[in-house]
Amino acid sequence: MQAPTIHEIPERSGAAFRLARGEILTVIDPRGEQVADLLAFAADDLDEVISSGRTLDYAETIYLTTGHKLYSNRSQPMLEIVADDVGRHDFLLTPCSYDTFHHFYPTLPPHRGCFGNLAAALEPYGVMPDRIPTAFNCFMNVPIDAETGKLRVLPPISKAGDQIVFRAAMDLVIGLTACSAPDSNGGTFKPIHYAIGPNPRLD
């Protein structure tokens, strides 16, 4: 079995691509401590979109890992997590944007962030910016204080080469980034790798 092509998403950028039902998507953190925001839209009807609220409701946890499904706003499974080296990802926070840069990093040059990168990458597929919901933020480390509810954005616990692997439950348009926000990525910006096709980890 030939290993699938590895695609690189350069630092602080994004990509979009089709993923057919049954196909395997592997998202790799090649250097460690790098977040990748992931979005999914039903290829046949872009009004069906990944839903953090449906997913957290069904999973009964905020920390999703192997065996969990990511649901659409219509309560349909879109992706299943079939392998996961890390076990700590975020599904609470929206992609960083010009506005979040202004808010959190007023002294840094603003950046269009994952939101702008996703909007640009998804535009050729017909996805409008207002349709971008809370992303599944691979490798993003957002612990919660159970007492106060306070959340923190800490460096990812992913190490170089760590993977999370998804199987598509329907034909999808995927958006994926190498995240642009300093705090989310331990202060440095690195690429993200992905591959579509069989993953030897699953054999």
- Footprint of a copy of itself on this chain (CB under 8 A)? 47-49, 51-54, 56-58, 60-63, 73-75, 92-94, 97, 99-100, 103, 128, 130, 132-135, 143-146, 148-152
| Length of the chain in terms of residues written | 203
Measured from the CB atom, the residue of 13 and 52 that comes closer to a copy of itself is: 52
Separation of alpha carbons 69 and 166, rounded Å = 9
CB 89, CB 124: distance < 8 Å: no
Quick one: 172 exposed, middle or buried, by C-beta within 10 A (0-12, 13-18, 19+)? Answer: buried
Compute the least distance from the CB of residue 94 to a copy of itself, in Å: 3
- Report the C-alpha gap between 115 and 103 in whole angstroms: 15
Other C-beta atoms closer than 10 Å to the C-beta of 9 total 21
How far is the C-alpha of 203 from the C-alpha of 194, rounded, in Å?
18
CB of 4 to a copy of itself, least distance (A): 31
- Taking a C-beta distance cutoff of 8 angstroms, is the pair 9, 200 a contact? no
Q: How far is the CB of 56 from a copy of itself (least distance, A)?
A: 5
Minimal distance in Å, beta carbon 11 to a copy of itself? 21
Considering the complex, what minimum distance in angstroms separates the CB of residue 27 from a copy of itself?
Answer: 20
